[in-house]
Structure 1
Amino acid sequence: MREYRTEELAEAAGIPVRTLRFYRERKLLPPPRREGRIAWYDEHHLARLRTIAALLERGHTLGGIAELTAAFESGRDVSQLGELLGIGWSEETPVRLTPEALADYFEGEVTPENLAASLDLGYLATDGDEIVHVSRRLLDVSSALVREGVPLAAVLETGRRVRAHADAMAALFTELISAHLPEDALPRLRPLAKSVVEAELSMAMDRLLASAQDPSA
């Protein structure tokens, strides 16, 4: 990995040296490697500076960026994500994002609070300078709801509640199959469980819509 002196890093990032030092003082950059009195920076520092510039262009303040950075650095990394969610990555497609790409998905909604909630849920994890979203489907649905005007905080809270119900349904199907079939049948019959859940959810939505249109029903 290439290393840079202070002046070289500032030039590569397109910022004055005094700005680089200011970012260091604000703890927006991790400490450099020291060799005597010389500070050596690497590609991760350069990526962080480019992220700061991109987030500033999107209207984030330096204070907000510092809070987001702290949230990222306290989040789980990818190696912990599968253990947290108890998944084998067999069905969902993870999505790699830069912090600025995440900000574009949820314009104005990437706050430290929402980021912390996403990390806590396991929707997001960190991998070096990148963010990994656990599911392309969940990412697309979440961003679509936000574009429609639903606050991201409400989407995340609903996701937390949906997970509790999903865990309960998974337990029901596991109990059903385990009671009547050998243990190795569970992976094979997993698509049947998904079909039942999708059908029941669809019919439940139909009932709610019909009730809303005809309160006397």
Structure 2
Amino acid sequence: MSEGSGKREYRMEELAREAGITVRTLRFYRERKLIPPPRREGRIAWYDDGHLARLRTISALLERGHTLNGIAELAEAFDHGRDVGDLLGLGVPSEETPVRLSPEDLADHFGDQATPENLAAAMDLGYLGTDGTEIVHISRRLLEVSAALVREGVPLADVLAAARSTRAHAEALAALFADLVLARGDRGVPDLQRLRPLAKSVVEAELSMALDRVLRTQDPDAPRPAATD
């Protein structure tokens, strides 16, 4: 085991022992490109903690019922995913809290719905990005709501399709409120920041009333909200 430059590195036998697998299994994973190539120093192959984390992730996903083919596709998707900085927009203020996740965390949230196709769609939508060896979801609220919908029986593919449609409407609403500020000839972003809670309240109230109308259409006998003084 090497500790050079404060970075822990392992020979193949050491890495396999730390990961709780056999050297033969490690070679098989490497041949299937489930882990990145090691660093070469002459004839010695050195692996690092990133390789160890990937091996532990593979074991966790296998325990959750994922196949090696599916894991390989997930690994490729994450290795080629967009950098999280591109998604979040460095320096842009946001009320959303990003969440760091491992692939097994995603499996815990979405079960067998965490397929390569769905995760690729989430990356294309901008929900997921990568930060080194970690996965980042741009919004804890969206992550929790998406997982809750899946638990209610809504397919994740349908959740993501609805999210894409919602994104388009939300951007149109944001542009509408931005125009309210710009039409007054104000300073723009600082005033739009102050307008944000008011805009959110308008959208939330309108959505709530729209849902009321949909519910009454489906159930005409549903009680109507009582008026308050």
TM bin, normalised by shorter chain, reads over 0.9
- For the residue of structure 2 that corresponds to 1:108, the secondary structure is helix
- My pick for the range that moved more, 174-183 or 157-166, is 174-183
Instruction: Indicate which of 142, 149, 164 corresponds to 1:138.
Output: 142
Q: Which runs of 5+ in 2 are unaligned?
A: 1-6, 222-229
Give the length in aligned residue pairs. Answer: 213
Alignment partner of 1:111 is 2:111: no
Instruction: Indicate which of 96, 99, 103 corresponds to 1:92.
Output: 96
Instruction: Indicate which of 41, 53, 56 corresponds to 2:59.
Output: 53
1:128 Cα deviation from its structure 2 partner:
2.1
Alignment partner of 1:18 is 2:27: no
Alignment partner of 1:2 is 2:3: no
Q: What is aligned with 1:208?
A: 214
CA RMSD in angstroms comes to 1.4
Aligned residue type for 1:155: V
Aligned residue type for 1:95: V
- For the residue of structure 2 that corresponds to 1:132, the secondary structure is strand
Aligned residue type for 2:130: T
Distance change in 2, residues 1:64/1:89 (3 Å):
farther
Contact 1:82 1:89 (C-alpha < 8 Å) held by counterparts:
no
Aligned residue type for 2:129: A
Cα separation, 2, equivalents of 1:90 and 1:171: 16
Q: What is aligned with 1:36?
A: 42
Q: Which runs of 5+ in 1 are unaligned?
A: none
Alignment partner of 1:157 is 2:154: no
Instruction: Indicate which of 71, 79, 96 corresponds to 1:73.
Output: 79
**Deviating 4+ runs (over 4 angstroms):** none
Instruction: Indicate which of 184, 187, 196 corresponds to 2:202.
Output: 196
1:90 Cα deviation from its structure 2 partner:
2.4
- For the residue of structure 2 that corresponds to 1:125, the secondary structure is strand
Contact 1:34 1:40 (C-alpha < 8 Å) held by counterparts:
yes
Contact 2:15 2:47 (C-alpha < 8 Å) held by counterparts:
yes
Instruction: Indicate which of 120, 126, 130 corresponds to 1:126.
Output: 130
Structure with bigger RCO (C-alpha 8 Å, 6+ apart)? 1
Aligned residue type for 2:27: R
1:87 Cα deviation from its structure 2 partner:
8.1
Contact 2:88 2:138 (C-alpha < 8 Å) held by counterparts:
no
Cα separation, 2, equivalents of 1:87 and 1:214: 49
Q: What is aligned with 1:148?
A: 152
Q: What is aligned with 2:226?
A: none
Q: Write out per-residue CA displacement over residues 125-148 of structure 1, whole angstroms, 9 at most, x where no aligned residue.
A: 111222111111101100000000
Contact 1:44 1:129 (C-alpha < 8 Å) held by counterparts:
yes
1:88 Cα deviation from its structure 2 partner:
2.5
Q: What is aligned with 2:172?
A: 168
Aligned residue type for 1:59: G
Cα separation, 2, equivalents of 1:99 and 1:90: 25
